Structure 1
C-alpha cells in the first residue's frame, strides 16, 4: 500500500457525507480484520500445499524401500498378492488394491483394521511383503488432510470455505488499495522502492508481492472452492450432469461415488463424485462353500478388464462392500484426459458404468483441469516450480501483511490503522464485495454476521464516548 499514514483532516461534512465516510471506515476496518483472520490460514494452506506438491519426491525419499522394486520377467497374480497382504493382517478388511503404476513400482493394498487404514506394499515379481504404514499418517497425507478440512471434517471444510471467500474479498479490496493513483511507475507498485529496514519498505514489499501474487492466489482460491463441501457440493450438483441413459439400465445403491473419497486420499475424480454407485445383482452369485467370499470374479479378472478397457496405469480398484457392492476401477490422473471411472458387477464382471474425459460436461472438464493445475501435476518439474513460487509469494504476502498491521496498530492495541486521506470512495470494490457475498453464501452469511457485530460494537463504543463523565466529589 502506498497511502500516507496521516489521519484525515477535512472541514465539517454533511450528515450524508459523514454516513458515507463512516461506511468506508467500516470497509477499511474489515479489510484489516479479514487479513488477520485469513493470513494464518493462507500460511497453513501454502505450507501444506508445498508438502503435497512434492509428494512424489517425498515418497521416493521417505518410502523408497516400500515403493520401488526391481522389474522381472514374470509377476504374481493380483489374487496371490492380495492373499499375501491379508496374511499379515488376517482380521482386516480390504479397502482397495492398487496395481503397480510402473514396472519398477510395488503393489499397494489398503486394509482397514479396527478403524485404521494400513497401506501394505508387496513386490509383484517375488511376492515379498515389503512393509506397511498407516495410510493417513504419512507426511503428504497429513498435509493433504490439513489442506482439505483442517482435520476437522465438515466443520473444518466450512471454515476453509469461509476463509477462501474472505480471501477473495481481500483480493478485491487489496487491489483497490494498491491501484496506483499518482501516474504510471513500477516503483512501489510492481517493485519495492525501499529496503526492509523501514516500515515503508515492508509496505512496498507487501504491495509488490500482492501484484505478482494476485492472479495466482485468485486461481488457488477459485479452484479450491470447487472442492468445498457446501458451495462446491452445490456447484457440482448443478454442473456435473451426465446423460440419464448412462444410468437408466443400472440398479443404483444409496451412496454416491464421493463416498469412496477421503480427505487424505482421492479415489474417484471430482467430475463423478455426484454420480450414483451402481449395485451388483446378488442373484448372479454362484453357490459356494465360503459364503463370506461370494464374488464370482477374481481380482485378477478385474485387473485384466481394466487393461482391456484401456485404463492407464496408476488406477486403484476399490473392492465391493456387501453383497450389492461393486468393483470400482478409478484413475484420478495427473492429466485429466486420462481419468477413468468404471463400476463392475462383482458377480458377472459386467461393466455397469464407464465414465471418461469425453463424457464429462464442459464445466467438469474446466474444473478437473483447474484442479490438476492447482496441484502442480500436469507439466512435471516446471509446473511444480511455478506452484512452489506462488506458494512462497503467498507466504511472503501473508507475513508482510501481518507485520504491517503489527507496526501500525493504534496505541499498541488490537485495532486498525487510520483511514488514509488519499482514499476516494471505493464504490467498485464494495459492489464487487457484495456480489461475492451473493455468489458464495457462507461468505455472505459471515459478512452479515460481521456487519451486525461491528454495528453493535461501534454503537456501544460511541455511546460510551458520548456519556457524560461523572466527577467524583472530593
Structure 2
C-alpha cells in the first residue's frame, strides 16, 4: 500500500505594501477633488452651452435661410450702390455703418446704427445682390443673427450681462488646472505599469465600481487634455479680468493687432458733408471703394466701414476666418481712389496672429465644419468626464452600518501641504501667487477653498472630532 501523497500548502501571498503618497501627490489629489466638486458644475454649464453654440451655423441656415441666402445666383450682381440704396429705402432711419457685399449665394448685408438700440446692437438689412431685392431685416450684434447672438450670450454670461461673465471666466480659469492636475494624478497612478493602453484606454476588465469609473474618467481626460488647455487659454483672452491682464501683456510686448490710419484731407465737395455734422452717405461711392480693395488684393468676403466724415477714409477688411485666413485691411480715400494705409495679417506680431487664430478656432470658424465637430467632441467628452467624476464621489461613499454617508469623504488629510519639502514650498508659493494675480478667478476661489478647509478642520477639532477623515481603500476588485 503506497503512502498518500503529501498535500502541498501554498504560502499565503504577502500583502501588497501600501503605496505611500508624496506630499505633492496628496496635495494635488485633494485640490483636484475640491476643484472637481465645486468648479465642475460651472464647467458642465460651459460645456453644455458651448456645445449648443457649435450648432449655430447650421441653425442660422435653417432659421434665417431667406435673409442669408438667395434662391438663384444666375446673372450678374447689381451695382453695390443700387443694393445699398434698396436697403436705405427699406430702412430710412439710422446711419449706415458697415456693408458686407454678398458672395456666392450669400446676401449683401447693410448694418444701420439706430439710437434706440443698445449693447452694440444694429439693424441689418439683407439684399439679394442679383436683383437688389430686400430679403428681410434683423437686429444683429457684430453681424451675428439674433439666434447666434442669444447662444453666444448664453455661453458667455448665461444671459445675465456682466454679472454672468464671472461664471465663464471662473470655469475657464480652473479648466486648465483641473485638466493638468488630473493628467498628473493618472500618470502617478499608472507608474510601474505605464503603457499607452493603461494611459489612454479605460480598464474594461475591472468590475463595475470606482476603479472602472476612474479608468473611464481618467482615460477620456487624457484624450481631452490638449483641447481643454486650448479652450481655457483662448477663453481667458477675452474674459473680463484675466482678459484685461492679457491685453496689458500684449501692450507691454507691443503685440496688439496693428491699427489702421484713416485720416485724409477733406477735398472741396468731398464724398461726405452735411450741415448737421452727420455724414451724407453717397451709395455710389461704395462701388469705387470695392474696386480699389479688389485691385489691391483683398479677395474673398470683405466688410466696408463707412466713414463718419470727409476727413476719414473708408476701411475695407477681409473677414474670412477659415484657414488660410484672410484678414488684411486697407484704408481708402474714396475722393482720390487711393489707399491711405494698409495692415496685412502676415505682418501682425506673432502673438497677435496666434490670438486671432485661437479665437477663431475657439468659436468654431477656423476650419469650418471639422472645427465645429472637434469642439462638439470636446464638449461631450468634458460632460462625460464630469459625470464620471461625480459618480466616483458617490461610489466611494461609506456603506457600512453606522458609517453610511451620501457621498465619499475628501481624500488624504488636511494640512498635507506641511509635508512638502521646503524647496517645494519656496518654488510653489510664488507660482501660485503669480497665477492668482494674473487669473483672479483662480486665485480668489483657491483662497476660499483653503479658508473653508481650515474652518472645517478647526470646527472638527473643537467638537472633538478628527481634523481629517482618512479614506479606506476600496474593496478588492472594485
TM-score (norm 1): 0.74
Deviation of 1:197 (Å): 5.0
Deviation of 1:280 (Å): 5.6
Q: Is the 8 A contact 2:60 2:147 kept in 1?
A: no
Query: Over aligned residues, Cα RMSD in angstroms?
Result: 4.1
Partner of 2:92: 90
Deviation of 1:200 (Å): 3.2
* Inter-CA distance 339–210: structure 2 relative to 1 (3 Å threshold): same
* Inter-CA distance 280–55: structure 2 relative to 1 (3 Å threshold): farther
Q: Is the 8 A contact 1:376 1:383 kept in 2?
A: yes
Partner deviation per Cα, 1:149-180 (whole Å, 9 max, x = no partner): 44444444444333222112112321222121
Partner of 2:411: 418
Partner of 1:198: 209
Instruction: Give the 5 Å matches for 1:51-450.
Output: 51-69=52-70, 70-100=72-102, 102-113=103-114, 114-115=116-117, 116-136=121-141, 138-179=146-187, 180-185=190-195, 189-194=199-204, 198-239=209-250, 272=257, 275=259, 278-279=262-263, 286=270, 291=276, 292-294=278-280, 298-321=285-308, 327-332=314-319, 333-335=321-323, 337-344=325-332, 351-408=339-396, 412=405, 416-419=409-412, 435=431, 437-439=433-435, 440-442=438-440, 443-450=442-449
Q: Is the 8 A contact 1:335 1:372 kept in 2?
A: no
Deviation of 1:396 (Å): 1.3
Cα distance in 1 for residues equivalent to 2:336 and 2:157 = 38
Partner of 1:254: none
Cα distance in 2 for residues equivalent to 1:284 and 1:201 = 79
Answer with 115-124 or 86-95: which moved more.
86-95
Cα distance in 1 for residues equivalent to 2:73 and 2:181 = 56
Q: Is the 8 A contact 1:53 1:384 kept in 2?
A: yes
Deviation of 1:188 (Å): 5.7
Q: Is the 8 A contact 2:25 2:185 kept in 1?
A: no
Tell me which structure has the larger Cα radius of gyration. 2
* Inter-CA distance 461–282: structure 2 relative to 1 (3 Å threshold): farther
Partner deviation per Cα, 1:400-456 (whole Å, 9 max, x = no partner): 223333444675458743339xx9978899867963651433123443344344434
Cα distance in 2 for residues equivalent to 1:230 and 1:347 = 43
Deviation of 1:355 (Å): 1.2
More helix by share: 1
Q: Is the 8 A contact 1:76 1:125 kept in 2?
A: yes
* Inter-CA distance 138–211: structure 2 relative to 1 (3 Å threshold): same
SS class of match (2:315): strand
Deviation of 1:86 (Å): 2.6
* Inter-CA distance 400–161: structure 2 relative to 1 (3 Å threshold): same
Deviation of 1:307 (Å): 1.7
SS class of match (2:464): helix
Deviation of 1:361 (Å): 0.8
Q: Is the 8 A contact 2:364 2:375 kept in 1?
A: yes
Partner of 1:451: 450
Q: Is the 8 A contact 1:331 1:341 kept in 2?
A: yes
User: Can you give the 5+ residue segments of structure 1 that lack an aligned partner in the other structure?
Assistant: 1-8, 12-16, 244-269, 468-474
User: Can you give the 5+ residue segments of structure 2 that lack an aligned partner in the other structure?
Assistant: 1-17, 399-403, 467-478
SS class of match (1:313): coil
Deviation of 1:131 (Å): 1.5
Q: Is the 8 A contact 2:395 2:408 kept in 1?
A: no
Partner of 1:262: none
Cα distance in 1 for residues equivalent to 2:252 and 2:340 = 18
Aligned residues: 422
Cα distance in 2 for residues equivalent to 1:449 and 1:32 = 15
* Inter-CA distance 231–380: structure 2 relative to 1 (3 Å threshold): same
* Inter-CA distance 369–433: structure 2 relative to 1 (3 Å threshold): farther
Deviation of 1:271 (Å): 5.2
Cα distance in 2 for residues equivalent to 1:51 and 1:176 = 31
Q: Is the 8 A contact 1:106 1:124 kept in 2?
A: yes
TM-score (norm 2): 0.73
Answer with 358-367 or 36-45: which moved more.
36-45
Partner of 1:38: 39
* Inter-CA distance 134–150: structure 2 relative to 1 (3 Å threshold): same
Q: Is the 8 A contact 2:217 2:389 kept in 1?
A: yes
Corresponding position: 1:463 with 2:459: no
* Inter-CA distance 197–141: structure 2 relative to 1 (3 Å threshold): farther
Deviation of 1:135 (Å): 2.0
Deviation of 1:279 (Å): 4.9
